[in-house]
Amino acid sequence: MEKISIVVPCYNEQESIPYFYKEVKKVIKKMSNLSFELLFVDDGSKDNTLQVVKELSEKDNLVRYITFSRNFGKEAAMLAGLENATGDYITIMDADLQDPPALLPEMYRLIKEEGYDTVGTRRTTREGEPVIRSFFARKFYKIINKMSKVEMVDGARDYRLMTRQVVDSIISIKEYNRYSKGLFSFVGYKTKWIEFENVERVAGTTKWSFWKLFKYALEGIVAFTTAPLSLASVLGVILCIFSFIGIIVIIVKTLMFGDKVSGWPSLACILLFVSGVQLLCMGIIGQYLAKTYLETKKRPIYIIKEMK
Ligand code: UDP
Ligand code: MG
Protein backbone atom coordinates (compact mmCIF):
# COMPACT_ATOMS: atom_id res chain seq x y z
CA MET A 1 0.00 0.00 0.00
CA GLU A 2 1.30 3.45 -0.87
CA LYS A 3 1.66 6.01 1.86
CA ILE A 4 1.06 9.74 1.94
CA SER A 5 2.76 11.84 4.62
CA ILE A 6 1.06 15.06 5.60
CA VAL A 7 3.51 17.52 7.13
CA VAL A 8 1.90 20.24 9.25
CA PRO A 9 4.06 23.11 10.55
CA CYS A 10 2.42 24.52 13.69
CA TYR A 11 3.24 27.59 15.70
CA ASN A 12 0.70 28.50 18.37
CA GLU A 13 -2.12 26.63 16.68
CA GLN A 14 -3.90 25.04 19.64
CA GLU A 15 -7.27 26.36 18.43
CA SER A 16 -6.89 25.37 14.78
CA ILE A 17 -5.53 21.85 15.18
CA PRO A 18 -8.81 20.16 16.26
CA TYR A 19 -10.62 21.61 13.20
CA PHE A 20 -7.72 20.70 10.99
CA TYR A 21 -7.58 17.15 12.30
CA LYS A 22 -11.30 16.66 11.69
CA GLU A 23 -11.10 17.88 8.11
CA VAL A 24 -8.03 15.82 7.29
CA LYS A 25 -9.56 12.68 8.73
CA LYS A 26 -12.54 13.11 6.39
CA VAL A 27 -10.20 13.18 3.41
CA ILE A 28 -8.18 10.23 4.70
CA LYS A 29 -11.38 8.19 4.97
CA LYS A 30 -12.20 8.95 1.35
CA MET A 31 -8.79 7.78 0.15
CA SER A 32 -9.13 4.33 1.61
CA ASN A 33 -6.74 2.63 -0.82
CA LEU A 34 -3.79 4.51 0.72
CA SER A 35 -2.11 4.61 4.10
CA PHE A 36 -1.36 7.90 5.81
CA GLU A 37 0.92 9.61 8.28
CA LEU A 38 0.15 12.96 9.88
CA LEU A 39 3.37 14.60 10.97
CA PHE A 40 2.86 17.70 13.10
CA VAL A 41 5.94 19.87 13.50
CA ASP A 42 5.58 22.00 16.60
CA ASP A 43 7.78 24.99 15.90
CA GLY A 44 8.46 25.93 19.54
CA SER A 45 4.87 26.99 20.25
CA LYS A 46 4.21 28.98 23.39
CA ASP A 47 0.65 27.75 23.84
CA ASN A 48 -0.67 24.21 24.24
CA THR A 49 -0.06 23.08 20.67
CA LEU A 50 2.26 20.30 21.79
CA GLN A 51 -0.20 18.89 24.34
CA VAL A 52 -3.00 18.96 21.76
CA VAL A 53 -0.83 17.09 19.28
CA LYS A 54 0.37 14.59 21.89
CA GLU A 55 -3.20 13.77 22.85
CA LEU A 56 -4.06 13.18 19.21
CA SER A 57 -1.07 10.91 18.80
CA GLU A 58 -2.12 8.80 21.79
CA LYS A 59 -5.58 8.27 20.35
CA ASP A 60 -4.60 7.89 16.73
CA ASN A 61 -1.48 6.12 15.56
CA LEU A 62 -1.44 7.93 12.22
CA VAL A 63 -0.35 10.99 14.18
CA ARG A 64 3.35 11.63 14.73
CA TYR A 65 5.04 14.76 15.96
CA ILE A 66 8.32 16.59 16.11
CA THR A 67 8.87 19.42 18.54
CA PHE A 68 11.61 22.02 18.33
CA SER A 69 13.66 23.42 21.19
CA ARG A 70 12.45 26.91 20.24
CA ASN A 71 10.74 28.74 17.37
CA PHE A 72 12.84 28.31 14.22
CA GLY A 73 10.31 29.55 11.66
CA LYS A 74 8.08 27.85 9.12
CA GLU A 75 10.91 27.17 6.68
CA ALA A 76 12.74 25.14 9.32
CA ALA A 77 9.53 23.36 10.34
CA MET A 78 8.84 22.35 6.75
CA LEU A 79 12.37 21.05 6.30
CA ALA A 80 12.19 18.99 9.50
CA GLY A 81 8.89 17.54 8.31
CA LEU A 82 10.21 16.66 4.87
CA GLU A 83 13.36 15.11 6.32
CA ASN A 84 11.45 12.92 8.76
CA ALA A 85 8.41 11.97 6.69
CA THR A 86 8.35 8.33 5.63
CA GLY A 87 5.68 8.37 2.91
CA ASP A 88 5.96 7.67 -0.82
CA TYR A 89 4.19 10.97 -1.39
CA ILE A 90 4.54 13.97 0.83
CA THR A 91 2.40 17.05 1.24
CA ILE A 92 2.73 20.17 3.38
CA MET A 93 -0.40 21.77 4.83
CA ASP A 94 -0.93 24.77 7.10
CA ALA A 95 -2.68 23.99 10.36
CA ASP A 96 -5.20 26.80 9.91
CA LEU A 97 -7.13 25.12 7.03
CA GLN A 98 -6.05 27.80 4.58
CA ASP A 99 -4.75 24.91 2.50
CA PRO A 100 -7.93 22.91 1.83
CA PRO A 101 -7.28 19.20 2.55
CA ALA A 102 -10.19 18.42 0.19
CA LEU A 103 -7.89 19.10 -2.78
CA LEU A 104 -5.68 16.14 -1.88
CA PRO A 105 -7.51 13.38 -3.82
CA GLU A 106 -7.31 15.42 -7.02
CA MET A 107 -3.62 16.20 -6.41
CA TYR A 108 -2.89 12.53 -5.90
CA ARG A 109 -4.79 11.60 -9.05
CA LEU A 110 -2.78 14.07 -11.12
CA ILE A 111 0.49 12.53 -9.96
CA LYS A 112 -0.70 8.97 -10.23
CA GLU A 113 -2.57 9.10 -13.52
CA GLU A 114 -1.18 12.05 -15.43
CA GLY A 115 2.46 11.53 -14.63
CA TYR A 116 3.23 14.76 -12.79
CA ASP A 117 5.99 14.71 -10.17
CA THR A 118 4.57 17.48 -8.10
CA VAL A 119 1.25 19.28 -7.83
CA GLY A 120 1.32 22.80 -6.40
CA THR A 121 -1.57 25.01 -5.40
CA ARG A 122 -2.05 28.71 -5.89
CA ARG A 123 -4.62 31.16 -4.70
CA THR A 124 -6.35 33.14 -7.39
CA THR A 125 -7.67 35.76 -5.01
CA ARG A 126 -6.23 37.51 -2.04
CA GLU A 127 -9.57 38.28 -0.46
CA GLY A 128 -9.55 38.98 3.24
CA GLU A 129 -6.02 40.32 3.03
CA PRO A 130 -5.09 43.98 3.60
CA VAL A 131 -5.00 45.89 0.30
CA ILE A 132 -1.48 47.23 0.80
CA ARG A 133 -0.20 43.73 1.44
CA SER A 134 -1.69 42.40 -1.82
CA PHE A 135 -0.26 45.36 -3.69
CA PHE A 136 3.26 44.80 -2.41
CA ALA A 137 2.96 41.05 -2.91
CA ARG A 138 2.12 41.54 -6.59
CA LYS A 139 4.99 44.00 -7.05
CA PHE A 140 7.35 41.61 -5.30
CA TYR A 141 6.55 38.77 -7.70
CA LYS A 142 7.01 41.09 -10.69
CA ILE A 143 10.41 42.27 -9.48
CA ILE A 144 11.81 38.94 -8.39
CA ASN A 145 10.73 37.23 -11.61
CA LYS A 146 12.52 39.90 -13.62
CA MET A 147 15.72 39.42 -11.66
CA SER A 148 15.81 35.70 -10.97
CA LYS A 149 16.14 32.78 -13.35
CA VAL A 150 14.06 30.60 -11.04
CA GLU A 151 10.37 31.23 -11.59
CA MET A 152 8.28 32.31 -8.60
CA VAL A 153 4.56 31.80 -9.12
CA ASP A 154 2.34 34.58 -7.78
CA GLY A 155 -0.04 33.28 -5.14
CA ALA A 156 1.72 29.91 -4.88
CA ARG A 157 1.27 28.28 -1.50
CA ASP A 158 3.59 25.90 0.24
CA TYR A 159 0.73 23.39 -0.02
CA ARG A 160 1.85 20.82 -2.58
CA LEU A 161 1.99 17.09 -3.07
CA MET A 162 5.36 15.71 -4.09
CA THR A 163 6.81 12.34 -4.93
CA ARG A 164 9.59 10.95 -2.78
CA GLN A 165 12.09 11.80 -5.51
CA VAL A 166 11.16 15.49 -5.48
CA VAL A 167 11.37 15.63 -1.69
CA ASP A 168 14.78 13.97 -1.73
CA SER A 169 15.97 16.64 -4.15
CA ILE A 170 14.67 19.41 -1.91
CA ILE A 171 16.28 18.08 1.24
CA SER A 172 19.55 17.59 -0.57
CA ILE A 173 19.76 21.39 -0.70
CA LYS A 174 21.49 22.21 2.54
CA GLU A 175 21.42 26.00 2.49
CA TYR A 176 20.70 27.83 5.73
CA ASN A 177 18.72 30.74 4.32
CA ARG A 178 15.85 28.73 2.96
CA TYR A 179 13.29 30.33 0.72
CA SER A 180 11.09 27.36 -0.09
CA LYS A 181 9.00 28.91 -2.83
CA GLY A 182 12.24 29.31 -4.74
CA LEU A 183 13.64 25.92 -3.76
CA PHE A 184 10.52 24.06 -4.95
CA SER A 185 10.86 25.78 -8.27
CA PHE A 186 14.65 25.37 -8.37
CA VAL A 187 14.52 21.56 -8.23
CA GLY A 188 12.33 21.51 -11.33
CA TYR A 189 10.34 18.36 -12.24
CA LYS A 190 7.00 18.22 -14.00
CA THR A 191 4.70 20.47 -12.03
CA LYS A 192 0.96 20.96 -12.26
CA TRP A 193 -0.71 23.98 -10.66
CA ILE A 194 -4.21 23.83 -9.35
CA GLU A 195 -6.03 26.94 -8.27
CA PHE A 196 -8.39 27.74 -5.46
CA GLU A 197 -9.94 30.79 -3.88
CA ASN A 198 -8.43 32.22 -0.75
CA VAL A 199 -9.83 30.79 2.47
CA GLU A 200 -9.52 32.61 5.77
CA ARG A 201 -7.95 30.83 8.72
CA VAL A 202 -10.38 28.90 10.97
CA ALA A 203 -9.00 30.06 14.30
CA GLY A 204 -6.02 31.78 15.87
CA THR A 205 -4.12 34.62 14.20
CA THR A 206 -1.62 34.97 11.39
CA LYS A 207 2.06 35.00 12.36
CA TRP A 208 2.98 37.43 9.62
CA SER A 209 3.13 41.16 10.12
CA PHE A 210 3.75 43.44 7.18
CA TRP A 211 7.32 44.05 8.32
CA LYS A 212 8.02 40.31 8.64
CA LEU A 213 6.69 39.73 5.13
CA PHE A 214 8.82 42.56 3.82
CA LYS A 215 11.94 41.04 5.32
CA TYR A 216 10.94 37.64 3.98
CA ALA A 217 10.61 39.17 0.51
CA LEU A 218 14.13 40.64 0.76
CA GLU A 219 15.38 37.23 1.84
CA GLY A 220 13.84 35.71 -1.27
CA ILE A 221 15.60 38.26 -3.46
CA VAL A 222 18.99 37.79 -1.80
CA ALA A 223 18.63 34.00 -1.91
CA PHE A 224 17.66 33.75 -5.55
CA THR A 225 19.32 36.51 -7.47
CA THR A 226 22.55 38.45 -7.39
CA ALA A 227 21.17 41.13 -9.71
CA PRO A 228 21.18 43.89 -7.03
CA LEU A 229 24.93 43.42 -6.71
CA SER A 230 25.47 44.60 -10.26
CA LEU A 231 23.65 47.84 -9.41
CA ALA A 232 26.93 49.17 -8.00
CA SER A 233 28.79 48.61 -11.26
CA VAL A 234 26.01 50.06 -13.39
CA LEU A 235 25.65 53.20 -11.27
CA GLY A 236 29.43 53.48 -11.09
CA VAL A 237 29.76 53.50 -14.87
CA ILE A 238 26.98 56.07 -15.28
CA LEU A 239 28.49 58.40 -12.68
CA CYS A 240 31.97 58.05 -14.27
CA ILE A 241 30.61 59.14 -17.63
CA PHE A 242 28.85 62.12 -16.04
CA SER A 243 31.91 63.19 -14.10
CA PHE A 244 34.12 62.89 -17.17
CA ILE A 245 31.83 65.27 -19.07
CA GLY A 246 31.69 67.50 -16.01
CA ILE A 247 35.48 67.71 -15.77
CA ILE A 248 35.82 68.80 -19.40
CA VAL A 249 33.09 71.41 -18.99
CA ILE A 250 34.78 72.83 -15.86
CA ILE A 251 38.25 72.95 -17.44
CA VAL A 252 36.98 74.71 -20.54
CA LYS A 253 34.90 77.13 -18.48
CA THR A 254 37.84 77.99 -16.22
CA LEU A 255 40.16 78.56 -19.17
CA MET A 256 37.66 80.85 -20.88
CA PHE A 257 36.14 82.76 -17.96
CA GLY A 258 38.67 82.39 -15.16
CA ASP A 259 38.02 80.85 -11.77
CA LYS A 260 35.60 82.61 -9.46
CA VAL A 261 34.62 80.90 -6.22
CA SER A 262 31.08 79.96 -6.98
CA GLY A 263 29.00 76.84 -7.49
CA TRP A 264 29.50 75.40 -4.01
CA PRO A 265 25.79 74.53 -3.59
CA SER A 266 25.86 72.30 -6.65
CA LEU A 267 29.11 70.82 -5.37
CA ALA A 268 27.46 69.96 -2.06
CA CYS A 269 24.54 68.34 -3.88
CA ILE A 270 26.81 66.22 -6.04
CA LEU A 271 28.78 65.16 -3.00
CA LEU A 272 25.65 64.11 -1.14
CA PHE A 273 24.27 62.26 -4.14
CA VAL A 274 27.43 60.33 -4.83
CA SER A 275 27.99 59.36 -1.22
CA GLY A 276 24.36 58.27 -1.01
CA VAL A 277 24.81 55.99 -3.99
CA GLN A 278 27.98 54.61 -2.45
CA LEU A 279 26.29 53.82 0.83
CA LEU A 280 23.36 52.17 -0.94
CA CYS A 281 25.70 49.93 -2.89
CA MET A 282 27.67 49.08 0.21
CA GLY A 283 24.42 48.20 1.93
CA ILE A 284 23.50 45.81 -0.84
CA ILE A 285 26.90 44.16 -0.70
CA GLY A 286 26.44 43.99 3.07
CA GLN A 287 23.17 42.07 2.67
CA TYR A 288 24.87 39.41 0.58
CA LEU A 289 27.87 39.34 2.86
CA ALA A 290 25.61 38.81 5.88
CA LYS A 291 23.90 35.87 4.19
CA THR A 292 27.25 34.38 3.21
CA TYR A 293 28.40 34.80 6.79
CA LEU A 294 25.38 32.94 8.15
CA GLU A 295 25.81 30.26 5.51
CA THR A 296 29.47 29.62 6.35
CA LYS A 297 28.71 29.15 10.05
CA LYS A 298 26.83 25.97 9.16
CA ARG A 299 24.54 26.17 12.15
CA PRO A 300 21.76 23.59 12.27
CA ILE A 301 18.53 24.81 10.66
CA TYR A 302 16.46 23.42 13.53
CA ILE A 303 16.96 21.55 16.79
CA ILE A 304 14.60 18.71 17.68
CA LYS A 305 13.67 18.36 21.33
CA GLU A 306 11.27 15.46 21.11
CA MET A 307 9.87 13.23 18.39
CA LYS A 308 7.46 10.38 17.83
N1 UDP B 1 4.20 28.65 11.24
C2 UDP B 1 5.30 27.98 11.78
N3 UDP B 1 6.31 28.71 12.35
C4 UDP B 1 6.29 30.08 12.39
C5 UDP B 1 5.19 30.74 11.80
C6 UDP B 1 4.15 30.01 11.24
O7 UDP B 1 5.36 26.75 11.76
O8 UDP B 1 7.23 30.67 12.92
C9 UDP B 1 3.09 27.86 10.63
C10 UDP B 1 1.70 28.22 11.17
O11 UDP B 1 1.40 27.50 12.33
C12 UDP B 1 0.81 27.83 10.01
C13 UDP B 1 1.68 28.10 8.79
O14 UDP B 1 3.02 28.14 9.27
O15 UDP B 1 0.46 26.45 10.03
C16 UDP B 1 1.30 29.40 8.10
O17 UDP B 1 1.31 30.47 9.02
P18 UDP B 1 0.20 31.62 9.00
O19 UDP B 1 -1.15 31.00 8.83
O20 UDP B 1 0.41 32.45 10.20
O21 UDP B 1 0.61 32.41 7.71
P22 UDP B 1 -0.40 33.03 6.61
O23 UDP B 1 -1.31 31.92 6.20
O24 UDP B 1 -1.11 34.13 7.29
O25 UDP B 1 0.51 33.47 5.50
MG1 MG C 1 -2.50 30.90 7.38
What is d(CA 4, CA 163) in angstroms, rounded to the nearest whole number? 9
127 pLDDT above the threshold of 80: no
Q: Would you say 284 and 231 are in contact if contact means Cβ atoms under 8 Å apart? A: yes
104 pLDDT above the threshold of 80: yes
Q: Which atom of ligand 1 is nearest to the CA of 11?
A: 11
Q: What is the whole-number distance in angstroms between the Cα of residue 94 and the centre of ligand 2?
A: 6
Is there an atom of ligand 1 within 6 Å of 99 CB? no
Q: What is the whole-number distance in angstroms between the Cα of residue 235 and the centre of ligand 1?
A: 39
Q: What is the mean pLDDT of residues 37-43?
A: 95
Q: What is the pLDDT of residue 41?
A: 96
Q: What is the pLDDT of residue 65?
A: 95
Residue 59 CB contacts under 8 Å (≥ 6 apart), including other chains: none
Three-class DSSP category at 7:
strand
Q: Decide which of 98 and 203 is more confident.
A: 98
Is there an atom of ligand 1 within 6 Å of 126 CB? no
Detail the DSSP E strand segments found in the chain. Answer: 3-10, 35-42, 63-68, 89-92, 118-123, 156-163, 191-196, 304-307
DSSP per residue, 186-205: HT---EEEEEE-----SSS-
Strand ranges across the sheet with 35-42: 191-196, 118-123, 156-163, 89-92, 3-10, 35-42, 63-68, 304-307
Residue nearest atom 23 of ligand 1, based on CA coordinates: 206
Residue 166 CB contacts under 8 Å (≥ 6 apart), including other chains: 117, 118, 187, 189
Residue nearest atom 8 of ligand 1, based on CA coordinates: 73
The angle, 0 to 180 degrees and rounded to 10, between the axes of the packed helices 131-147 and 210-224 is: 10
Q: What is the pLDDT of residue 43?
A: 93
Closest CA to 174 of 87, 92, 82: 82
What is d(CA 152, CA 145) in angstroms, rounded to the nearest whole number? 6
pLDDT tens per residue across span 208-230: 888 888 888 888 888 888 888 88
Is there an atom of ligand 1 within 6 Å of 96 CB? yes
Residues near ligand 2 ion, CB 5 Å cutoff:
94, 96, 98, 201
Q: Decide which of 82 and 257 is more confident.
A: 82
pLDDT tens per residue across span 149-191: 888 888 888 999 999 999 999 999 988 888 888 899 889 899 9
Q: What is the mean pLDDT of residues 98-102?
A: 90
Percent of the chain at pLDDT exceeding 70: 99
Query: Of the residues 7, 8, 10, 11, which should be mutated to test ligand 1's pocket, given the most ligand atoms within 8 Å of the CB?
Result: 11
Q: What is the mean pLDDT of residues 245-264?
A: 79
Question: Chain centroid to CA 288: how far?
Answer: 17
What is d(CA 89, CA 107) in angstroms, rounded to the nearest whole number? 11
Q: Would you say 97 and 204 are in contact if contact means Cβ atoms under 8 Å apart? A: no
Q: Which atom of ligand 1 is nearest to the CA of 201?
A: 19
Is there an atom of ligand 1 within 6 Å of 230 CB? no
Query: Of the residues 12, 96, 178, 201, which should be mutated to test ligand 1's pocket, given the most ligand atoms within 8 Å of the CB?
Result: 96
Helix H segments across 48-202? 49-59, 74-84, 104-114, 131-147, 164-171, 180-186
Q: What is the mean pLDDT of residues 254-266?
A: 76
Mean confidence (pLDDT) of the chain: 87
* Single-letter amino acid code for the residue at 3: K
Q: What is the mean pLDDT of residues 252-280?
A: 78
Q: What is the pLDDT of residue 35?
A: 93
Q: Decide which of 255 and 54 is more confident.
A: 54
Q: What is the whole-number distance in angstroms between the Cα of residue 114 and the centre of ligand 1?
A: 31
Q: What is the mean pLDDT of residues 271-278?
A: 80
User: Where residue 272 falls among pLDDT bands split at 50, 70, 90?
Assistant: confident
User: Where residue 206 falls among pLDDT bands split at 50, 70, 90?
Assistant: confident
Q: What is the whole-number distance in angstroms between the Cα of residue 219 and the centre of ligand 1?
A: 17
- Residue 243's H or E segment, with its range, is helix 227-257
Question: How many degrees, rounded to 5, is the angle at CA 140 between CA 138 and CA 145?
Answer: 100
Residue nearest atom 12 of ligand 1, based on CA coordinates: 94
Q: What is the whole-number distance in angstroms between the Cα of residue 157 and the centre of ligand 2?
A: 10
- Cα dist. 247→140, 241, 244, 253, 273 in Å? 40, 10, 5, 10, 17
Which pTM was predicted?
Answer: 0.76
Residue 28 CB contacts under 8 Å (≥ 6 apart), including other chains: 36, 62
Q: What is the whole-number distance in angstroms between the Cα of residue 73 and the centre of ligand 1?
A: 8
What is d(CA 7, CA 87) in angstroms, rounded to the nearest whole number? 10
118 pLDDT above the threshold of 80: yes
